[in-house]
Chain A
Amino acid sequence: MRGLFLKLLRRRHLHRDLERELAFHREMAAAQGNPVPLGNPAVIKEQALDLWRFTFLENVWRDLVYGARSLRRSPALVVSTVLSLALGIGVNTTIFSLAVEFLFSEPSVSNSRSIVSVRLGGNSHVKPEVIEFVRQGGVFADVVGEREESFVNWNDGTQTRPIFGMVTTKNFFTALGVPMAYGRGLLPGDPDEVVVLNNHFWRKHFHSDPSIVGRSINLDGKAYTVVGVLPAQHRTLLGFGFAPDVYLPYFIEDTLLAIYARLKPGMSIDKARAGVTLVAKRLDTVLPEPYFKYGTSCEVKPVSGFARIKKQREALALGLFFLMLQIVLGLVLLIACANVASLLLARAASRRQEIAVRLSLGASRRRLVQQLMVESLLLSTVGAGFGLALAHIVATLLTRIRFPLPFPLRLQFSLDWRVATYATCLAIIATVVCGLLPAWQSVRESIASQSKREPKLRLRRALVMAQVATSVIVLVTGSLFLRNLLKANSISPGFDVRHTLRAEAHLPPARYEDQQSKDRYVDQILHELAAVPGIEGVAAARILPFTDQATRGQGLKFPDTGQNVHASFSWNAVTPEYFRAMSIPVLQGRSFLISDDGENNVAIVNQEFVKRYLANQRAVGRVFLWGPDGNTPCQIVGVVGNTKTLTIGEDDRPQLYEPLAQINDDRTRIQFVMKSTLPPVMQLDPVRGVLRRVEPAAGTEVATLFSSIGLAFLPSQVGAALLGSAGVLGLLLATIGLYGVMVYSVERRTREIGLRVAVGAGQRNILRMVLFDSLKITAMGSALGLCVALVATRPLALFLVQGLKPADPLTFGIVAVILGLTGVIAAWGPVRRALAIDPMSALRHE
């Protein structure tokens, strides 16, 4: 390498040497009366210098200059190729940077590879004492706890609103080594009333004022001292762009926390699991739990990198989705490359003469191919540059989008080395795909040019056919997801979303510690809301569908039949009016009554529950035994319709409702739903007024149910938007390609068409000739594409709603029709051109 470098430096010197040496040789030969030796001095020089290897580099440089110069003369070609490649590379890079952010972003901690998440006894969250016990167990270098979803009420001086807080143990910042922008993180010796602000929260509400550190803010009615501000690029351990507003030390009794730990240097995951299992078994004797044992199943999982994706189901599903997207967009890029290749083929055909001259002057074929490849490298590099710029713009726009999610999400894209490498690889692939075929073709044809044959269009036609086939695959995928969206929108969630409002109140925990005070609050709200004109049916619920979900697995014993089932169901606790407020039909039995207050345990189940666990037999009136001791009787008093719980596409799940008054609610977050005879938007202010009047210190949120169930439609919407646009983009590129070939074909056949007209062909014949030509290419390409798509789209079933199969005949039919139209549209311009050919001037053509 060093040698090559030195040679490069000495290049000029060597060049001069060789020239002098050759001159000397000739002089000597002339002086001695020898004939001047045969041989081309330029070739000799080139051959001799070839040995010094830098000819290759010199040639590349010369080709670059030459290529840039010749491309400058055809701006139309440059604009269309660069645009195609920029679009193709741009969308690919955008999705890639999204995937990197979602799947491979590292949490903002020191040495993230050594951080693991720990589960004891299958519990995601445990009591703070348990965390302290594990920490003292000494298996890990350090152990911390965090509670991701906690709300605190922030009073900014004029109003109180709930903000998203992350509750952590006080050693969280020190043990993980979280970098800070201003101030410091929480310290183990801190009092309880300290808070760390997230960067976006600080920017938005404190106008990026660093002097906030040391001042105090009002949270849940108490003054909290701001000790620090996180940097803008802070990423949480949870990942996926999750970004809470503030970080607080845990303070509420019975808050459960997720465990994270730092492995000791050199410790393997398996060893850590074995170690923590021993600690958990000791825990079972020291702090025994009635319902489960800590020591039964202990998990230790990495929080970053590939290891996380393998272990986490959500990450794996997301990874698969991105993989599919990347494949589809890769196909779009291929279509774009085919366009560029097609244009370069046309250009090569017009440069036949230039290439033939160079070949006959002694240029080697390799050398010519190299020169043509350098040209396409130039094009794809510029294309990739624009593509990266495009990706940056799109990514910046994406970070501004507020996703309709019930938790704060802030994506941070950075065009880091991974994205840059990816774009570079794409550019190289594009160079080869775009350039190799035209270069090879042009060199080959120029050799055969003595025969004066017209270059065949076959290659370009084949290219366009492949393009059409590829765009069929992309289009099928896109329209499958569009159909998926339509289907998802038409699925009824099982309750009324258009006439319903939801409200949420976060009570200050200090003043609502006991159950009675909470019950009193709920009763008063229900009473006052019912009095609002236009409101019919108000209820409180522990969980609202599509915002949250609780699954319970429990043994149910039916004493009447002696049957013992292990049931897994979505659980909820609601007040009597819930089913009326949500318009969920009560099919058998009755709804809850005020009198169902825990004296006699009752439950309502849904149809799916009856089908799965009661064999579709009579349900109302039956009693089962459950509870912590497995012996508490509970009577089923009603059966209601099925409702969706988290996503619209999911299968129906068994559901079980209990009266809210029957359970012990440990949360201070209370949700209400109400049905309105007026448009729900008009009721927002009256409802807000009621909530404020009853408890001014509570943080409240009021919205229409329609606006807050966005989460349920998000997967199908995102899928449809992304793949639908990919399909449209692919089709557009293929249409341009087809158009280009048709124009070129008509131009080449000008004489022939003129002759045909001269001997009496009518307009109709000409029209048919050109149109059929275009349709033939489209039809063959589509047939090929549809066959491939039939097989290739099979794995997509994973992402589609129930009842929609990848081999959906309607989708395939629509795609076929679209392509037929494309063939006609692409042929339209060329047909008009062909019809306008004047036979007399056409015969004089060339």
Chain B
Amino acid sequence: MAKSSYPTLLQGTLDLLILHVLQRGPMHGYAIAQTIHLLSDEVLKVEEGSLYPALYRLELDGAISASWGVSENNRRAKYYEITERGRKLVSEQQNTWNRLSLAVQRVLAR
């Protein structure tokens, strides 16, 4: 694997980020990646190599649904939308994440 200057995402957190971002409304894949990039103050960079498999997985899970639409620059693009199941999932995962990161911080603080 090529070394990158960006920190790699922890396993499983990408799903949470995608779902969280999608709560703002339907988005296509590129927009999801960009939003995560911007919201993280350009720290996190989602590569398409992990983004699309994750999107496909979430779609199969029923956490998001997909449909073809027209993008802002008039191109056909696939838009992803969070489902009811996805919303439930996001709150659950957020709780878990909060507890985990708090615990990690506590350990590192001592």
Contacts and interface: CB of A to CB of B under 8 A. Distances in A.
A31 interface: yes
Contacts of A27: 75
Contacts of B56: 48-49, 51-52
Contacts of A17: 78
Nearest to A24: B77
Given A29-B30, A43-B49, A24 B75 contact: yes
Interface string B17-39: 00000000000111001100000
Interface in B52-96: 52-53, 56-57, 60, 71, 73, 75-78
Contacts of B75: 24, 27
A24 B28 contact: yes
A37 B47 contact: yes
Contacts of A20: 76, 78
Given A21-B29, A24-B30, A38 B52 contact: no
A25 interface: yes
Interface of A is mostly: helix
Contacts of B77: 21, 24
B47 A47 contact: no
A843 interface: no
A51 B60 contact: yes
Interface in A91-112: none
Contacts of B52: 18, 21-22, 44, 47-48
A49 B53 CA distance: 8
B57 A37 contact: no
Given A25-B29, A29-B30, A44-B53, A38 B76 contact: no
Contacts of B60: 51-52
B2 interface: yes
A820 B23 CA distance: 79
Contacts of A43: 49
Contact of B47 (A22, A39, A49, A52): A39
Contact of B48 (A25, A32, A49, A51): A25
A38 B33 CA distance: 14
B77 to A, nearest CB: 5
A35 to B, nearest CB: 10
B73 A48 contact: no
B29 A37 contact: no
Interface in A28-81: 28-29, 31-32, 37-40, 43-44, 47-52
Nearest to A43: B49
A28 B49 contact: no
Contacts of B48: 22, 25, 37, 39, 44
Contacts of B29: 21, 24-25
Contacts of A49: 56
A44 B34 CA distance: 19
Nearest to A46: B53
A65 B3 CA distance: 38
A39 B49 contact: yes
B78 to A, nearest CB: 5
A752 B40 CA distance: 65
Nearest to A14: B56
B93 to A, nearest CB: 19
A40 B30 contact: no
Interface centre among B4, B28, B49, B77 (most CB of A within 10 A): B49
Nearest to A51: B56
23 contacts: A22-B52, A24-B28, A24-B29, A24-B78, A25-B33, A25-B48, A27-B75, A28-B71, A29-B30, A31-B73, A32-B34, A37-B47, A38-B2, A38-B47, A39-B47, A39-B48, A43-B49, A48-B52, A48-B53, A50-B53, A51-B53, A51-B57, A52-B56
Given A20-B76, A51-B60, 5 more contacts: A21-B52, A24-B29, A31-B73, A37-B49, A52-B60
